[in-house]
Amino acid sequence: MRYIGIDAPEIAHQGEPAEYFGKEAAEKNRGLVLGKRVRLEKDVEDKDKYGRLLRYVWTDNTMVNAELVKLGYAYSYAYPPNIKYQTYFLRMEKEAREHERGLWSAKN
């Protein structure tokens, strides 16, 4: 499955090294969804060109896609035509940058 509207750093796979902050992003995502009931929301397209489901992921009232951006574990990234929450994602990324969270941390 592909989270719509965001681009998170990749962990190591298929012989490729992990991207900067990939392990941290994967761990944060795991913490947000593991053991929780999730609701998946579709936008315009059902799947991407690789056959992965395209979804917004919700736990209770939290959209995991946006939370990852807000906390600095992912970038806002538009994948038209699936842009229902893109303005929201851009606001969350701006907030993460302003507060130097995660990827935007001055320590990194």
The predicted-structure confidence for 34-63, as pLDDT tens digits, reads as follows 999 999 999 999 999 999 999 999 999 999
Burial class (CB in 10 A: 0-12, 13-18, 19+), 37: exposed
Residues marked active site are found at 2, 10, 52
Q: pTM for the whole thing?
A: 0.91
Say how many domains are in the chain.
1
Which tokens belong to 46?
A: 């059902």
Domain encompassing residue 82: 2-104
Q: What is the percent of the chain with per-residue pLDDT over 70, rounded to a whole number?
A: 98
Say how far apart CA 95 and CA 101 lie, in whole Å. Answer: 9
SS3 65: helix
For residue 58, the model assigns a pLDDT of 98
What is the domain-level CATH number for residue 26?
A: 2.40.50.90
Say how far apart CA 86 and CA 106 lie, in whole Å. Answer: 26
- Report CA Rg, the chain: 14
